[in-house]
């Protein structure tokens, strides 16, 4: 696929159009596409110290060619930058650079950068527009779409944030060629999650040997699933959007207890999916063949299925109690009674979660 022929995924969230494109060569068109999306003023390109040297020059050049004053602001790579201190520092740097309420933000990077930059856009001058240019599988198929922005607190992941929808999402699949193997593979946990909750046939289409440069149709297929769910329940008021949290209750607890950085997000999600499969099979009728099919696909991408012994179950349960998915002390746990169909169950107990966590040690 050439950069001239991206796949456009229709999306209308918050009653407003959000243009979403998947294909190659999109970073080189950043300025042109920002103009088409109606952005004005100066902009901050927020990236990290790994992605910035590779992709920021092309984005900045394109923005300046389109007439924008573009300032590149980099943060240290990794989950530890997803914090209030980093958000405050970025706001200070944007103020020093003269950006005002007529400016906009371009988030250039993976999920950490997207969440952090989107949060900065949500709070800067009480909210300015932003664009997402996700550069990892996780970000392209999941976190860049939907408007959830935020940072971590000491007590848990994503506990501080805001709903702030991007006006433009450019999933340039050429960026995937620069990802190290581990960072590339982890993103497929979110793809497998989408298959489990909404599109079981996608499991058959997943092949670890698929060339990275040909992934735009798969990325677009996943974006369509995410955008459709978000458009129907942007702020998790009906319970539909909560289905996207399949595997994430245990995953966020693992990330918190293990220390941010030990597991990549997709690796933790893989373990969380396995725990959710155990509960789905034991209490909600998921056939053993269905659970095995999902686990086999996670394993095919080199994602973990077993939990290290040094991560204590009691610590994970304590972290899970602080998760946003515990509402008024009640557990809202996503399960799949059959592949392709998910529901939010309110009769999953803490003992069920304990048993599921213990099953990860087998």
User: Which pLDDT belongs to residue 183?
Assistant: 94
Q: Which pLDDT tens digit goes with each residue over 225-249?
A: 999 999 999 998 888 999 999 999 9
Residue 351 has pLDDT above 70, yes or no: yes
All structural domains of the chain, each given as residue ranges with its CATH number in brackets, are 7-180 (3.40.50.1970), 202-359 (1.20.1090.10)
Output the pLDDT for position 1: 40
Alpha carbon separation from 197 to 169, 184, 339 (Å, rounded): 23, 22, 6
pLDDT of residue 2: 46
Within 8 A by CB and 6+ apart from 320, the residues are: 249, 250, 252, 253, 326, 353
Alpha carbons 15 and 11: distance in angstroms, whole number: 10
Using the predicted structure, report yes or no on whether residue 88 has a pLDDT greater than 70: yes
Tens-place pLDDT, residues 276-305: 999 999 999 999 999 999 999 999 999 999
Express each pLDDT in 171-200 by its tens digit.
999 999 999 999 999 999 999 999 999 999
In this prediction the pTM is 0.93
| pLDDT score at 326 | 65
* Per-residue pLDDT at 329 exceeds 90: no
Q: Whole-number mean pLDDT of the chain?
A: 95
Of residues 115 and 326, more confidently modeled: 115
Q: Give yes or no for residue 340 having a pLDDT over 80.
A: yes
Catalytic (active-site) positions: 126, 148, 190, 226, 236, 241, 245, 248, 252, 265
Tokens 């100066």 belong to 42
Closest CA to 170 of 361, 6, 352: 6
H/E segment holding residue 151: strand 148-153
pLDDT tens track for 33-65:
999 999 999 999 999 999 999 999 999 999 999
Angstrom distance (rounded) from CA 127 to CA 130: 9
């Amino acid at each position: 696929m050439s950069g001239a022929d991206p796949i456009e995924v229709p999306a209308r969230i918050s009653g407003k159009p959000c243009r979403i494109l998947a294909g190659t060569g999109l970073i080189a068109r950043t300025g042109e596409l920002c103009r088409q999306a109606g952005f004005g003023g100066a902009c901050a390109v927020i990236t990290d110290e790994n992605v910035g040297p590779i992709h920021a020059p092309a984005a900045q050049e394109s923005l300046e060619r389109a007439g924008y004053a573009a300032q590149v602001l980099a943060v240290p790579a990794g989950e530890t930058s997803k914090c209030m201190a980093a958000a405050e520092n970025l706001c200070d740097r944007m103020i020093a650079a003269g950006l005002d309420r007529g400016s906009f933000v371009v988030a250039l990077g993976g999920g950490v950068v997207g969440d952090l930059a989107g949060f900065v856009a949500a709070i800067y001058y009480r909210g300015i527009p932003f664009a997402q240019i996700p550069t990892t599988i996780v970000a392209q198929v999941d976190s860049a779409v939907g408007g959830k922005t935020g940072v971590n607190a000491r007590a848990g992941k994503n506990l501080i944030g805001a709903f702030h929808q991007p006006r433009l999402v450019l999933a340039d699949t050429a960026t995937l060629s620069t990802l190290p193997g581990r960072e590339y593979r982890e993103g497929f946990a979110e793809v497998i999650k989408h298959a489990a909750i909404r599109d079981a046939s996608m499991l058959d289409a997943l092949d670890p040997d698929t060339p990275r440069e040909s992934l735009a149709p798969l990325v677009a297929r996943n974006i369509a699933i995410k955008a459709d769910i978000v458009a129907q329940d942007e702020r998790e008021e009906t319970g539909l959007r909560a289905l996207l949290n399949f595997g994430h209750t245990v995953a966020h607890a693992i990330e918190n207890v293990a220390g941010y950085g030990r597991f990549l997000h997709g690796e933790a999600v893989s373990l969380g999916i396995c725990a959710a499969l155990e509960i789905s099979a034991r209490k909600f009728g998921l056939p053993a063949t269905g659970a095995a099919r999902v686990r086999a696909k996670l394993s095919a991408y080199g994602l973990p299925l077993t939990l290290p012994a040094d991560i204590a179950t009691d610590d994970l349960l304590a972290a899970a109690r602080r998760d946003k998915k515990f509402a008024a002390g009640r557990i809202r746990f996503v399960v799949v009674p059959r592949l392709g169909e998910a529901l939010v169950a309110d009769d999953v107990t803490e003992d069920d979660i304990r048993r599921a966590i213990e099953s990860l040690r087998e």
